[in-house]
Chain A
Amino acid sequence: MTKLLEINNLHAAIDGKEIIRELNLSVNKGEVHVIMGPNGAGKSTLANVIMGYPHYTVTKGNIIFEEDDITEDRTDERAKKGIFLSFQNSEEVEGITVENFLRAAKGAITGQNISFVSFRKELMSVMSEIDFDSEYAHRYLNVGFSGGEKKKNEIVQMLVLNPKLAILDETDSGLDVDAVRAVSEGINRFRSKNNAIIIITHNTRLLSSVEPDYVHILADGRIMRTGDKSLAHEINEHGFTSLPLL
């Protein structure tokens, strides 16, 4: 087992308010981890802290990625090292088409000049894989996209940038039945023994086709319990309050 991500005793705060506390998490290559937890528990905060959003301050602990302490790294440096976040709420950026943006991103991450023609081919094939109309490649980044289209666009980016660690923050929320299937197929195609996925979710829909190795319950800023897939189903049926630790 090769260790990919290790979070040690992490404390993170925003505007002096501590949101993540004493959090430990270890992710190996080839694994799929699911994080569930009540609204406001700190799931998105954790995702943002791993990605390095400067808004949050890490007050204690560290984040190790491939044996490198990345706690102080800038966001773009983390992306270049292979971390990807599919945003719960992605930003709309006027003026930049999806295609141009992704080509620039791919160039930045690989440090190579990306040929226009081969990139377009790759993008078109990725988009068709997840049933995303190729028309959207020419639209401005997320501008006027529906909730589901934004999520699909995040998965397109994940597949094109091919990170080592993909964190999917509620990527399954707001998707219709067909879209859930398309997205989970995309995730399964991405999944390999060389990468890992952290899925933040409120339901088990995605888990019927994406088999998780671990399910964690995050509440009150820390991981309260870790189990296997059955834990997710338990929560799905009985809710968080049924858990003895809460």
Chain B
Amino acid sequence: MKHRIEEINKLQIPTWSRHAINETTISLDFTDLKPYRENPLKNNDNCIQIEENAIKNSSSIRMEENALKNDADTNVKGVREFVRNHSNQTYHIHINDNEVLDEPMVLNFIMDSENSLLIEEIIINAGRDSKATIIISYFSKEDGRHIHCGHTKMNLDKGAEIDLIKIQLLSEQSTHLDKNRVTVGEGAVANMILAELGSGNLISECDVSLESDRSMAKLDSIYIGNKSKVIDMNYRMEYVGRHSQGFITAKGALMDKCRKTFKNTLDFVAGSFGSKGREEETVISLSEEAVNISVPLLLCGEENVEGQHASNIGRLSKSKLFYLMSRGLNEKEAKRLMVEASFTPIIEKIPLEALRNRIFHYISEVIQHDK
């Protein structure tokens, strides 16, 4: 059965472009797929050692059993509605007021032929002045078509400090559709890393609202386009509170005939006095045929704010490549070095070494198979 989701990654203000970038529509075919049954809290992957989850004291990760509630609708608007109707995994992560968790909480979704359809809803509530790191990863254990469609809603109360790290390394034949809604309370800090590395068709959305005074968010993203991969990313920071700060840093590498659209919006609403925002994208283009579309949008409903956009495109020119090769590196090693160099400052922020290594391994594999 085919399901159609419309109005994904919608741009706040439509712009004209011959590339039709204002919004995305996707058709998901569930035929032959099997709903996700594994326990992501368990370390169930042989190739990676993730420490047992820290669910301390009264803070909790709670799971709700509600596999494929409704198969009826085939045409919905938005990821939220779709996940609501079809989720087969739902998690509530609740962190109590004043609680500081030293160990990261880890949800590790491993997909394979027996667990090939993951539609999950995650709700994270971080209490006042709480502190925690939450890592959610999506891996394909083997080749094959896997579909992941997820919605994560995270709310940070006053003074909370949460690191949310998502790592996606799904197989090439997979589709990954992930939406994140984050609200940041007064003086709270949300640090997010979205490592969108795998899957042949990837749609990633992150909508952050800096709701209160001195709310702060950092969103770091890395992505790799290879082969004929299609990437559609839509990141948005909304500045509501006074003196709020929100930064987006995206680093990407494009190869082969991939196609990337990156929409990023900094929206300073009226009253966001003294707020600061910056969006910076660095793309390493390793192919002439790759399509690289960036749509930065800076909206100012408030005068006394500071918003900046920066984008850099790094190309491995023939002379640069010659220089690197003259030191003994072959073409692929030179490319890998360039990509790793760009991604490393973000990868280094991931607290688990096994995950970092897995990402580096993935990068080198992708470049090794690049034509």
Decide: A93 and B325 in contact? CB cutoff 8 A.
no
**Could you mark each residue 311-330 of chain B with 1 if its beta carbon is under 8 Å from any beta carbon of chain A, else 0?**
01010001110111111111
Among A53, A94, A95, A101, contact of B322 (Cβ-Cβ < 8 Å):
A53
**B329 cross-chain contacts in A, Cβ below 8 A:** 76, 104-105, 108
In Å, the complex CA distance between A85 and B341 comes to 24
User: For the complex, is B338 an interface residue (Cβ under 8 Å from A)?
Assistant: yes
User: For the complex, is A181 an interface residue (Cβ under 8 Å from B)?
Assistant: no
Among B314, B323, B328, B338, contact of A87 (Cβ-Cβ < 8 Å):
B323
Decide: B314 and A95 in contact? CB cutoff 8 A.
yes
User: For the complex, is B354 an interface residue (Cβ under 8 Å from A)?
Assistant: no
Decide: A95 and B341 in contact? CB cutoff 8 A.
yes
In Å, the complex CA distance between A102 and B324 comes to 10
**A76 cross-chain contacts in B, Cβ below 8 A:** 325-326, 328-331, 333
Give B338 Cβ to nearest chain A Cβ, in Å.
7
Give A45 Cβ to nearest chain B Cβ, in Å.
13
Decide: B337 and A96 in contact? CB cutoff 8 A.
yes
Residue of B nearest to A77 (CB): B330
**A93 cross-chain contacts in B, Cβ below 8 A:** 320, 323-324, 338, 341
Residue of B nearest to A55 (CB): B318
For chain A, residues 80 to 104, give those with C-beta under 8 angstroms from any C-beta of chain B.
80, 84-85, 87, 90-91, 93-97, 100-102, 104
In Å, the complex CA distance between A220 and B36 comes to 72
Q: Identify whether the interface residues of A are mostly helix, strand, loop, or mixed.
A: helix
**A102 cross-chain contacts in B, Cβ below 8 A:** 327
**B323 cross-chain contacts in A, Cβ below 8 A:** 87, 90-91, 93
Among A55, A75, A100, contact of B326 (Cβ-Cβ < 8 Å):
A75
User: For the complex, is A126 an interface residue (Cβ under 8 Å from B)?
Assistant: no
Decide: B333 and A91 in contact? CB cutoff 8 A.
no
User: For the complex, is B342 an interface residue (Cβ under 8 Å from A)?
Assistant: yes
User: For the complex, is A63 an interface residue (Cβ under 8 Å from B)?
Assistant: no
Q: Identify whether the interface residues of B are mostly helix, strand, loop, or mixed.
A: helix
Decide: B342 and A95 in contact? CB cutoff 8 A.
yes
In Å, the complex CA distance between A161 and B326 comes to 11
Among A53, A55, A94, A109, contact of B328 (Cβ-Cβ < 8 Å):
A109
Determine which residue in A53, A90, A106 has the highest number of CB atoms from chain B within 10 A of its CB, and name it: A53
**B337 cross-chain contacts in A, Cβ below 8 A:** 96, 100-101, 104
Decide: B338 and A85 in contact? CB cutoff 8 A.
no
Residue of A nearest to B342 (CB): A95
Total interface residues on B, CB under 8 Å, equals 20
Given contacts A93-B338, A100-B341, A101-B337, contact A161 B320 (CB under 8 A): no
Residue of A nearest to B339 (CB): A95
**Could you mark each residue 61-76 of chain A with 1 if its beta carbon is under 8 Å from any beta carbon of chain B, else 0?**
0000000000000111
**A161 cross-chain contacts in B, Cβ below 8 A:** 327-328
In Å, the complex CA distance between A84 and B323 comes to 11
Residue of B nearest to A91 (CB): B323
Give A241 Cβ to nearest chain B Cβ, in Å.
32
Decide: B341 and A79 in contact? CB cutoff 8 A.
no
Decide: A105 and B318 in contact? CB cutoff 8 A.
no
Given contacts A95-B342, A96-B338, A104-B333, contact A84 B326 (CB under 8 A): yes
**B322 cross-chain contacts in A, Cβ below 8 A:** 48, 51, 53-55, 75
In Å, the complex CA distance between A95 and B330 comes to 18
Among B312, B330, B333, B338, contact of A74 (Cβ-Cβ < 8 Å):
B330
**B338 cross-chain contacts in A, Cβ below 8 A:** 93, 95-96
In Å, the complex CA distance between A85 and B322 comes to 11
Decide: A79 and B327 in contact? CB cutoff 8 A.
yes
Determine which residue in B320, B329, B342 has the highest number of CB atoms from chain A within 10 A of its CB, and name it: B329
**B319 cross-chain contacts in A, Cβ below 8 A:** 91
Residue of A nearest to B341 (CB): A95
In Å, the complex CA distance between A42 and B312 comes to 35
Residue of A nearest to B319 (CB): A91
For chain B, residues 24 to 54, give those with C-beta under 8 angstroms from any C-beta of chain A.
none
Among B314, B324, B327, contact of A94 (Cβ-Cβ < 8 Å):
B314
In Å, the complex CA distance between A48 and B322 comes to 9
Given contacts A93-B338, A95-B314, A100-B341, contact A105 B320 (CB under 8 A): no
Decide: A74 and B325 in contact? CB cutoff 8 A.
yes
What 7 pairs between A and B have smallest CB-CB spacing?
Answer: A95-B341, A105-B327, A109-B328, A108-B328, A75-B325, A79-B328, A91-B323
Q: A87-B326, A108-B327 are in contact. List 20 more A-B contacts (CB 8 A).
A: A54-B318, A74-B325, A75-B326, A76-B330, A76-B331, A78-B326, A79-B326, A79-B327, A91-B320, A93-B320, A93-B338, A96-B337, A102-B327, A104-B329, A104-B337, A105-B327, A105-B329, A108-B329, A109-B327, A109-B328
A-B contact pairs, 17 of them (CB 8 A): A51-B326, A75-B326, A76-B329, A76-B333, A79-B326, A87-B323, A90-B323, A91-B324, A93-B338, A94-B312, A95-B341, A96-B341, A104-B333, A104-B337, A105-B328, A108-B328, A108-B329
